[in-house]
Copies of this chain bind each other. A is one copy, B any other.
Amino acid sequence: MKIINVTKNVSLKRTIEAGTETQQQAVTQIIEKVKAYGDEALMALTEKFDGVRLQSFAVTKEEIERAYEEIEEEALAAIREAIENIRDFHARQKRETWITTKEDGTMLGQKVTPLDSVGVYVPGGRAAYPSSIMMNVIPAQVAGVERIVMVSPPQSNGSWPAGVLVTANELGVKEMYKVGGAQAVAALAYGTETIAPIDKIVGPGNIYVALAKRAVFGQVDIDMIAGPSEIVVLADEKANPIFIAADLLSQAEHDPMASAILVTPCEKLAQKVADEVIVQLETLPKKDIAAASIQDYGAIYVTQDLAEAIDVVNQLAPEHLEVLTEEPLTLIGKIKHAGAIFLGPYSSEPVGDYFAGPNHVLPTNGTARFSSPLNVDDFTKKSSIIYYSQAALQANGKKITTLARLEGLEAHARAIDKRLEEEK
């Protein structure tokens, strides 16, 4: 791993996949086909891309029952407990409608309403992660979204992996369709005979899914389009290099473009971690991916002191930040930009990826400067409530017309004047 003495500004090596022109055109064509031919297009595209001709997209009871026979008891228990933890954490984010009243009869407030319907995209193949289903479905459920539609491409056997089916069923998802790619996104946005359209699409996907989400944005809402994953570890001389190396590698195994970075004022630790990464890398099943990530996007930044290290962390604005310093809790206030902050030696990133409760869908690519983890607010919208009594308008009408006329909007002023005249 490269060890770099930091002097001034650092930033993540950002990589936003924009897609090639060919990919863009393919996505445009797929969307047009689904809009024009509905289910028929979905059938044909699924056969083309997933190699399966389906009779029906809907997941059946039998498929779910079979999945329960397949899944290990230990895994099922862990899924259930994770769901409980994630539900508990997100329930604490929920906001209520509120109203404030004044003596003159004025009422002002903010109504919080869940979205009517949400589509959750789940990638196929190796990225069909049960944890990702939980993290996208639960905040929508907690928000009160009535209709949640899950889509994911079928495997070559025409079904989904057992872990995906069991997790969706444990969550209580009722509408599940075996369709993936840009065609699934188009179906969610515009609807087909089988799939009624939804209001917002969330969930990760490959470049075609990302391009399709971008294309339907406006017709429906979408979540952020995630870039490659990142971890930054902030550590001092007391930190355990074995833990740090393991955590950096857990990020690196995701993607050759994932970033794993250590920031420390301790040169000795830097060297130990660099050595330990090589040792641990050797026996990893995903050694090739992790090695490429460490080589191209990994780094160890050595700073003058802890204050400078914190400054570097804030410049990086990482998706995941681990704080392995002597008093990690006291640093929360100094950390300005991070998607999730893991504090202390036992809060390894996978604790949050799978189990603790907070969402693992986090702002990547330095967007933690202005973006938040996926949360219940993302599945609700607000409406302002304004009630003015006759007395309130009498008392304030003249001020309102003054402001309207200052902006040259006479019809605005007259709408108020009509009410004031009525009184005379």
* Partner-contacting stretch, out of A26-34, A151-159, A261-269, A382-390: A382-390
A344 to B105, CA, bound (A): 12
Could you list 12 examples of A-B contacts with CB < 8 Å?
Answer: A129-B407, A218-B367, A250-B412, A252-B411, A280-B414, A341-B385, A341-B386, A348-B388, A351-B396, A354-B403, A369-B381, A372-B383
Contact, CB under 8 Å: B383 / A106: no
A388 to B396, CA, bound (A): 54
The answer to whether residues A414 and B340 also contact, given A332-B385, A347-B388 and a CB cut-off of 8 A, is no
Question: How close is A17's CB to chain B, nearest CB, in angstroms?
Answer: 12
Chain A window 351-380, contacts with chain B (Cβ cutoff 8 Å), 1 for yes, 0 for no:
111111111001100011111110101000
* Partner-contacting stretch, out of A41-49, A175-183, A299-307, A415-423: A415-423
A98 to B91, CA, bound (A): 13
Contact, CB under 8 Å: B411 / A249: yes
- Let me know if A74 is at the binding interface, CB within 8 A: yes
Enumerate chain B residues within 8 angstroms of A341, measured Cβ to Cβ. 111, 383-386
Nearest B residue (CB) for A345: B419
The answer to whether residues A284 and B336 also contact, given A82-B403, A200-B370, A386-B351 and a CB cut-off of 8 A, is no
**Total chain A interface residues with beta-carbon distance under 8 A:** 119
* Partner-contacting stretch, out of A50-58, A60-68, A184-192, A240-248: A240-248
Enumerate chain B residues within 8 angstroms of A249, measured Cβ to Cβ. 411, 414-415
The answer to whether residues A371 and B381 also contact, given A75-B406, A406-B130 and a CB cut-off of 8 A, is yes
Contact, CB under 8 Å: B350 / A386: no
Contact, CB under 8 Å: B369 / A115: yes
Nearest B residue (CB) for A329: B387
The answer to whether residues A415 and B286 also contact, given A130-B406, A343-B385, A381-B372 and a CB cut-off of 8 A, is no
Enumerate chain B residues within 8 angstroms of A390, measured Cβ to Cβ. 345-346
Contact, CB under 8 Å: A16 / B218: yes
Enumerate chain B residues within 8 angstroms of A332, measured Cβ to Cβ. 111, 385
A130 to B93, CA, bound (A): 35
A387 to B323, CA, bound (A): 10
Enumerate chain B residues within 8 angstroms of A375, measured Cβ to Cβ. 110, 382
Chain A to chain B: the 5 pairs with minimum beta-carbon distance, closest first: A358-B384, A221-B370, A340-B384, A372-B382, A78-B399
Chain A window 145-179, contacts with chain B (Cβ cutoff 8 Å), 1 for yes, 0 for no:
00000000000000000010000000000000000
A377 to B378, CA, bound (A): 11
Enumerate chain B residues within 8 angstroms of A111, measured Cβ to Cβ. 332, 335, 341
* Residue from the list B221, B403, B409 in contact with A253, Cβ < 8 A: B409
Contact, CB under 8 Å: A350 / B399: no
Nearest B residue (CB) for A290: B411
A341 to B363, CA, bound (A): 32
- Let me know if A413 is at the binding interface, CB within 8 A: yes
Chain A window 258-279, contacts with chain B (Cβ cutoff 8 Å), 1 for yes, 0 for no:
0000000000000000000000
Contact, CB under 8 Å: B382 / A373: yes
